[in-house]
Amino acid sequence: MDRPRYEAEMTAGRMKAMVLAEIGRPLRLEERVLPEPGPGEIRVRIEACAVCRTDLHVVDGDLPRPKLPLIPGHEIVGVVDRLGSAVGSFAPGERVGIPWLGHTCGRCSYCASGRENLCDEPIFTGYTRDGGFAEYAVADAAYAFSLARYADPVAAAPLMCAGLIGWRSLVAAGEAGAIGLYGFGAAAHIIAQVCRWQGRAVYAFTRPGDEEAQAFARSLGAVWAGGSDEDPPTRLDAAILFAPVGALVPTALRHLRKGGRVVCGGIHMSDIPSFPYRILWEERQIVSVANLTRQDAVDFLAIAPQAGVTTATVRYPLEAANEALADLRAGRLQGAAVLCPSGAFAS
């Protein structure tokens, strides 16, 4: 679509969106009325929205009770288009990022203790409220983040979940010097760069036989890369599992030094098989990471430029969302898929 026609359609108060109407069914392209921001909300003209494995879990029904019909997508980068009442944090024309955590209650014990990622009444972008597989989105301004220093919206989009969850997982891993990353996709390729900047040694585990992914990991600073069925050349201080495969938990435990930690970074994982206590003994730990806090975003978005983080992205037009999801599901991507609305895609 050429830009004049794109802008004319937007002026008419309509937008295109890829909509999940039924679990397990392909998304369908719909034309919708532009959403209006309510009090404390902003409307964003979307420039890019990365495609996350969590989107697959929503579409495939691994996560319960999504809002239906639903516009998925929670790695949104766009330009503020309209302000609701009582919004003083942003101005029209400002580039912002909108992540998975869309709102928290502020009242429960978790919110009161600085653990809003565990809120009892959360709202999640692209899951319990409409997200970014569209030309426009509405978000709570208090849960959006300025991206004024990020010039490329496509490159910034994967930071809004792959980067943020990767960062929270890395923090949960502690001071590990030798760290294993299982599943070298969107999150791992970002966090591997942060690890290199911090002086950690990264050991990358991919699908068995995926030499292309292993070469990609080495190009980003991994000191070793191999299949998840291989043993690393040394014991690990910690391991982060981005692959949603429960069988990798005991595998990673076997590679840990005493006192090491396995961090499960995904929102969904297949069942963890039984394993002998001896591989957990000696104060090894298994922990999970859930969602994110706004402070995670503040911290990571400040660190990413310092670490020189770059993102590997594959662009898809908005209308090709099903293709992007299929490529992610099949493991055909290096880095992250990013959807761009027609006007943005053509720019």
Cα–Cα distance measured from residue 41 to residue 91, given in angstroms and rounded to the nearest whole number: 12
- Whether the pLDDT of residue 106 is over 80: the answer is yes
The predicted structure's pLDDT at residue 11: 52
- Banded model confidence at residue 342, pLDDT cuts 50, 70, 90: confident
Cβ(202)–Cβ(192) below 8 Å: yes
Burial 19-44 (b: 16+ CB within 10 A, else e): bbeeeeeebeeeebebbebeebbbbb
Digit-coded pLDDT (tens) for 127-141: 999 999 999 999 999
The predicted structure's pLDDT at residue 217: 97
The predicted structure's pLDDT at residue 334: 87
Mean pLDDT for all residues in the chain: 94
Arithmetic mean of pLDDT, 295-306: 96
The predicted structure's pLDDT at residue 346: 47
Residue 37 tokens read as: 């921001």
Digit-coded pLDDT (tens) for 47-70: 999 999 999 999 999 999 999 999
- Whether the pLDDT of residue 347 is over 70: the answer is no
Percent of the chain with pLDDT over 70: 95
Residue 345 CA: distances (Å) to CA of 53, 119, 162: 22, 36, 21
Cα–Cα distance measured from residue 6 to residue 8, given in angstroms and rounded to the nearest whole number: 5
Q: Identify which has the larger pLDDT, 30 or 89.
A: 30
- Beta-bridge mates of residue 103: 123
Domains identified in the chain and CATH numbers:
3-160+312-346 (3.90.180.10), 164-288 (3.40.50.720)
The predicted structure's pLDDT at residue 103: 98
Q: Identify which has the larger pLDDT, 345 or 18.
A: 18
Question: How far is Cα of residue 272 from the mean position of the Cα atoms in its chain?
Answer: 23
Which helix (H) or strand (E) is 252 found in, with range? helix 248-254
The predicted structure's pLDDT at residue 335: 87
Neighbours of 174 (CB within 10 A): 15
- Whether the pLDDT of residue 86 is over 60: the answer is yes
- Kindly tell me the burial class for residue 227, based on how many C-beta atoms sit within 10 Å of its own C-beta (0-12, 13-18, 19 or more): middle
- Whether the pLDDT of residue 1 is over 60: the answer is no
Cα–Cα distance measured from residue 257 to residue 263, given in angstroms and rounded to the nearest whole number: 14
Arithmetic mean of pLDDT, 96-116: 98
The predicted structure's pLDDT at residue 43: 98
Arithmetic mean of pLDDT, 188-211: 97
φ and ψ of 165, to 5 deg = -70, -35
The predicted structure's pLDDT at residue 331: 87
Say what the pTM is: 0.92
- Whether the pLDDT of residue 163 is over 90: the answer is yes
The predicted structure's pLDDT at residue 122: 98
Arithmetic mean of pLDDT, 227-253: 97
Cα–Cα distance measured from residue 285 to residue 240, given in angstroms and rounded to the nearest whole number: 12
Cβ(196)–Cβ(214) below 8 Å: no
The predicted structure's pLDDT at residue 184: 95
| Beta strands 123-124; 101-103: pairing state | antiparallel
- Whether the pLDDT of residue 146 is over 90: the answer is yes
Arithmetic mean of pLDDT, 170-177: 97
- Whether the pLDDT of residue 344 is over 80: the answer is no
Residue 315 tokens read as: 């662009």
The predicted structure's pLDDT at residue 2: 47
Percent of the chain with pLDDT over 90: 93
Residue 267 tokens read as: 């929102």
- Whether the pLDDT of residue 267 is over 50: the answer is yes
φ and ψ of 310, to 5 deg = -120, 150
- Whether the pLDDT of residue 5 is over 60: the answer is no
Supply the DSSP string of 109-136, one letter for each residue: HHHHTT-GGG-SS-EEBTTTB--SSBSE
